Chains A and B, each alone.
Chain A
């Protein structure tokens, strides 16, 4: 069975400083991993995905994530936060379970960006 743990429910940074949102997963097989962002009153939008091609994945809006199998982590980073980055972020693991794809969502991390 798979699971996802987002280690911080809330992260606050100042505009222009780096962002780190942490995600750990457990999976029986080689999973695919995603990060989604949800702005207020909006649906989730895909930021990036890992599919075993490269461990460092670049996404939209300057975000990137590194897959570390030894640490079972898939942390999301951005060098410099922008006010528009304030949103809820979800780490998601995708695995084949009993013959079909199963998606498990993390509990979310709310990113607050201070001016």
Chain B
């Protein structure tokens, strides 16, 4: 009965490779997000989608491309991986992108680029 699930949990790859992280939520939420957590635990939003439509696209290199095939899925594809991309990536969802609406997070994908 996992609410927000993301795969893989760990991802180790070499510089220059292309990789994807998948995220699915079974909560019926309309809004999904990708966050990046750096080594100092700082969390920064990357993207958010509302019902398959992109609504937030922060200053993220265009090597990162989100894709939402339906409102229950938001995948993250990363091209030409760089050392600085190493981080933990969290998928999250919320019922709406409202002021009081809490986020439900997945358990994270730890990406290590060597």
Contacts and interface: CB of A to CB of B under 8 A. Distances in A.
Is B truly associated with A?
A: yes
Interface of A: 32, 34, 36, 38, 41-46, 49, 51, 88, 90, 94-96, 100-101, 103, 105, 107-108
Contacts, number: 53
Interface in B59-114: 90, 92, 97-108
Interface residues of B, number: 23
B103 A46 contact: yes
Chain B interface, >50% SS class: loop
B43 interface: yes
Interface in B25-47: 40-45
A41 B105 CA distance: 12
Contacts of A42: 107-108
A43 B98 contact: no
A41 B55 contact: no
